Chain A
Amino acid sequence: MKTRFWILLPGIMLVLAVTLLSWKDIQKGPSIPEDVNTILSNSCYGCHSTGARAEDAVKALDFKKWDEYKATKKVSLFNEIHEVLEEGKMPPEKFLNKNPDKAPSAEDKEKIMKWTKEETAKLME
């Protein structure tokens, strides 16, 4: 009995370690870099994440489900994110009038647009 426990121990530790590590992954949320994530969570998550009241917005783009999107869908969304930022269509003007502090700065927008381009290039390799 005793020896069997010692044989099993590494296995148990391994399972524990993997669980802990993947838990950390879950906690970390979608695989979006920290700096980008900060901007998105300030300016976009309010409408574009599971549970938000703007149903159309969640349907169009859900950052909480980011990792579940297929590669082609990601490319499609990167392209659209780039477009809406370039054209200043998002966040919507009405929303910004009420929440001026949620407006991404020019620098923030640049950062996100650069991110979309880089990720697209990676996916298309």
Chain B
Amino acid sequence: MRKVYAILGFTLLVLILIQFFRPEKNLGDIDTHDDFIQVSQVPDTLARIFLNSCYDCHSNYTKYPWYASIAPVSWYLNKHIVEGKAHLNFSSWGIIDKAKKISLLDNICEECSDGVMPLKSYLLIHHHAALSPQEIAAICEWAEKEAMEIMKSE
């Protein structure tokens, strides 16, 4: 019995200690003028989808659930946010060069069509973030059109 208490106590201690190692939260300014939705004039229905399903990992502002502050959950989330933003940051869309934008638009459609994005682990908690086939089709159709427009623009 004593052994069980010792293990429990030790685990608790570790859990408390790791709380002191907090990744910095991703709580930047939400509406910068380089934002994807503004720069590319994303239609409202699609903008809502991107905000709801993608911005937590792909922008400078994450809406954290309450347990997100608790390590090791916080570390796990942070890793996704850092990686997600490194690949695609909707908050700095305006400063991405044209060819890269076209490539990202193409990948946005592809990753959604393949069911890779939003990440599965995210959908476990955020059921509402899952995309319907109609939503994916709408994203792809718009992304293709926007890519064409960027290509033709000065």
List residues of chain A with CB under 8 Å of any chain B CB.
71-73, 75-80, 120, 123-124
Contact = CB atoms under 8 A, between A and B. Distances in A.
Contacts of B151: 71-72, 75, 123-124
Interface residues of B, number: 12
Given A72-B106, A73-B106, A79 B100 contact: yes
Interface of B: 98-100, 102-103, 105-107, 144, 147-148, 151
B107 A72 contact: no
Contacts of B102: 72, 75-76, 79
Nearest to B152: A124
Contacts, number: 34
Q: Which label, helix, strand, loop or mixed, suits the secondary structure of the B interface?
A: helix
26 contacts: A71-B148, A71-B151, A72-B102, A72-B105, A72-B106, A72-B147, A72-B148, A73-B106, A75-B99, A75-B102, A75-B103, A75-B147, A76-B102, A76-B103, A76-B105, A76-B106, A76-B147, A78-B99, A79-B99, A79-B100, A79-B103, A80-B103, A120-B99, A123-B151, A124-B98, A124-B99
B88 to A, nearest CB: 13
